Amino acid sequence: MPLTPTQRVLDATPLAACAFNVVLIEQLEAVVDGAERAGLPVIAQISENAVAYRGALAPLAAAARAAADAARVPVALHLDHATRVELIEEAVACGFTSVMYDGARLPWERNVALTREVARWCHERGVFVEAELGEIGGKNGAHAPGVRTDPAEAARFVADTGVDALAVAVGTSHQMTERTAAVDLDLVRALHTAVPVPLVLHGSSGADDATLAGAVRAGMKKINMSTHLNTVFTGAVRAALGTGPAVVDPRRYLGPAREAMAAEVARLLRRLGAAAS
């Protein structure tokens, strides 16, 4: 089926929609395969960093559209952590169903002004907009330990910008390879009460299953994950290459990595999208 609007994926998922970052086509295939196994919608994400690595947005975006067209479940395509407005404009031209404008490093007034303009421009084109208040840990900011989003400020930011979803700081951090983060569930509940749009948890790789399930029950609606799946993918590559120097065909190590990631995507979708217990 064609790419599905991100809002529709959020609405169609019983609990939280899962959004998984991809850099390689094999990872994109794993996300779609895992979603089909779980029978749940999914959001595939391409970050500004991934674009920089690949040197261009359009080729991976085209692969994502093709994968969505062939998928048996709804697939949305999201641009993650975009700091450049021109990249957002390119993503919209490529058919992305949502974008995240990341003005978190900017002063409040500048972040509000630019986010508001991005939201206005994207809404005119039917594109869902996520934004961030404060910075995310691992990127010089607010999902670092001790940094928290204030519910009143979050509500004001959403009202002033008109965004459709808000990434908030509640205790997770980007690029964690151990799942040891503690999420402030009371703060999640307070934010859920104060903020009239879906809440997004970045840095979800650092939280274990029980913590993520608790965050979903407390009000998180979109769970972003990258590093944990990269760990699963890379672990399978290492295992395949470890069988001996004769393994030189990329299909022999990327294939198992794709399978391992697809299985984990399916597991996470079932855990967080269908039943958070």
Q: Which residues are the active-site residues?
A: 80
Alpha carbon distance 227, 21 (integer Å)? 9
Enter the tokens of residue 184. Answer: 């402030």
The residues with which 23 forms a beta bridge, in sequence order, are: none
